[in-house]
Amino acid sequence: MALIVIAAAALLLALVYVYPRAKGTNSPPLVNASSIPFLGPIFGPLIEFGASPMRMVARCTKEFGPVFTVKFLTKRITFLVGPEAHEPFFRLNDDYLSQDEVYGFMKPVFGPNVVYDATKKKRQVQFQSMANGLRVSRLKQYVSKIEKETINYLKENWGESGQVDLLESLSELTILTASRTLHGDDVREHLFKEVSKLYHDLDHGLTPLTVFFPNAPTEAHRKRNAARREMVKLFSNVIKERRSGGGKSDGTDILSIFMDTKYKDGTRLTDEDVTGLLIALLFAGQHTSCITSTWTSMFIAKHPEILKRVIKEQDEIFSTVGDKDTLDYEKINHMELLHNCMREALRLSPPLVLLMRQAMKDIPVTVPIKHGSDQSTTYTIPKGDIVMVSPSVAMRLENVFKDPEKYDPDRYAEGREEHKRPYSYLGFGGGMHSCMGQNFAYVQVKTILSVLFRKYEIELLCDEFPVCDYQAMVVGPKGDCRIRFKKRA
């Protein structure tokens, strides 16, 4: 689908195509050819990228080095691959490398004045309120909520034994646990079906076409817009009910924090702002958490020796740390192997395979001539370029991660710690724009998987292990994700 949309966009813009010129003589190497022959400098790279973006980035990295530029229609896109190349991308602020210009297509989903559409001062307040909802004192209270949702879901939907599609099950479970912790008990218990349906329409309103034409008159966009309006109405009623004293909330959910947040001028976040931030958090966490928990579970199940060690770790923690019958934040922090299994799943199969910024000024970047070389060179990325980093390609570099195609959770353990090299591990991005929800994600996924592996034996049913679906907006597993499960004695 992405290939079709990109090809269509190429046809629409070909008549007005003009190559932008780079400034100076030290601009990055220009990719002027494609692995697809006979298509010319305009369509070749575009179609190659649409067919398999990761394959193209990997090919160009091998041929041109850590920094290179590709011309797509009227845009220049400069790719940075490897720890040294990543450094300015993750270190510089929005005055140099801005998110707003490249993620503006999310405005119809989140709504006006939220995140990428907010002023700098308002966005700082919004992000601070999110950070407050994800601090450790909150996470400690979320563990029991996530555990309870997981136990109830497995009891009602799995039972004693059977077969399930793991991706589908963990997708359902992820949004249940997110609703409990983000929205609160009143929304989870009385409005979950409505919220889930509206989120479905919002989610399906984000298509490859949206990136090019966010307000194109399509049925998916119509449903998206209607769902956001209904979501605002729904949460406005929840907020009104809570403020009147009739709403049920223990005050730990993030909705409560947003309700109490004020901008610098003393005004509260509007109901539309609150709803937009809740949508943004769901979008940030729903796909990534369910995909990560699925990959982690399947990689563990694929490697029996790792599975045995994971079960042993769970048994040891529950017999030596705190109350043996209670899962809490302290126990979650002791699950080092499970933590590293999740890290390694994110390294091999990151849900977000391309991170983007726009260069607002000329950006110098100093890199080795080739990966692993002692000789370096400095390029200047010209103002106006779209700048991209590919976690998927970068986290498979042989000079950064030993035997990079192998699933090896021990690469993060003491004595190896391959992820400690600055800007090498990008499971949650990096620098000032690293994912603020990563600690929540670790708690959510590790809690779910702790319950799953302690309560059930699981076995893969696939003849071929799934691969990454690079045609999807958020990259998940493509293939058979079915497992056979049996409740442990």
Q: So where are the chain's domains?
A: 1-98+356-389, 99-354+390-487
The candidate with the shortest Cα–Cα distance to 68, out of 475, 393, 347, 375, is: 393
The predicted pLDDT at position 42 comes to 59
User: Distance between CA atoms of 254 and 130, rounded to whole angstroms?
Assistant: 7
Is pLDDT at 49 greater than 90 in this prediction? Answer: no
Checking 264-271 for CB contacts under 8 A at 24+ apart, the result is: 264/121, 264/125, 269/126, 269/129, 270/113, 271/232, 271/235, 271/236, 271/239
Among 332, 452, 338, 343, which residue's Cα sits nearest to residue 401?
Answer: 343
Q: What ranges in 349-481 are assigned the alpha helix state H?
A: 391-394, 438-455
* Pick from 139, 134, 148, 137: nearest CA to 448: 148
- Residues 353, 452: Cα–Cα separation, whole Å: 28
Enter the tokens of residue 225: 């817009």
Question: Residue 34 has what pLDDT?
Answer: 67
Residues composing the chain:
489
Q: Domain 99-354+390-487 adopts which CATH fold?
A: Cytochrome p450 (1.10.630)
Mean pLDDT for all residues in the chain: 88
Q: How confident is the model at residue 157 (pLDDT cuts 50, 70, 90)?
A: very high
Which among 174, 369, 169, 125 has a CA at the least distance from the CA of 283? 174
Cα 360 to chain centroid distance, Å, stands at 25
Q: How many CB atoms lie within 10 A of CB 96?
A: 19
DSSP letter for each residue of 275-326: HHHHHHHHHHHHHHHHHHHHHHHHHHHH-HHHHHHHHHHHHHHHHHSS-TT-
* pLDDT for position 38: 56
Q: Which of 331, 344, 345, 335 is nearest to 313 (CA)?
A: 335
**At residue 16, does pLDDT exceed 50?**
no
Distance CA 353, CA 355 (A): 7
Report the range of poorest mean pLDDT among 309-318, 430-439, 457-466.
430-439
Of 4-8, 36-40, 480-484, the range with the lowest mean pLDDT is: 4-8
Q: Which two tokens stand for residue 27?
A: 């601009």
Tokens 């109405």 belong to residue = 233
81-85, 150-154, 201-205, 264-268: least confident range: 201-205
If you average pLDDT over residues 467-475, what whole number do you get?
A: 84
pLDDT of residue 14: 36
Above 70 in pLDDT, residue 1? no
- Across the range 367-373, mean pLDDT stands at 78
Condensed to tens digits (0 to 9), the pLDDT of residues 234-288 reads 999 999 999 887 767 777 899 999 999 999 999 999 999 999 999 988 888 778 8
Q: What are the tens digits of pLDDT across the range 473-482?
A: 788 999 999 9
In this structure, what are the phi and psi dihedrals at residue 358, rounded to the nearest 5 degrees?
-115, 130
**pLDDT above 90 for 341:** yes
Residue-level pLDDT at 100: 87
Provide mean pLDDT across the span 72-98: 92
Contact 127, 135 (CB under 8 A): no
Per cent of the chain over pLDDT 70 is 92
Q: What number is the average pLDDT over the span 371-375?
A: 76
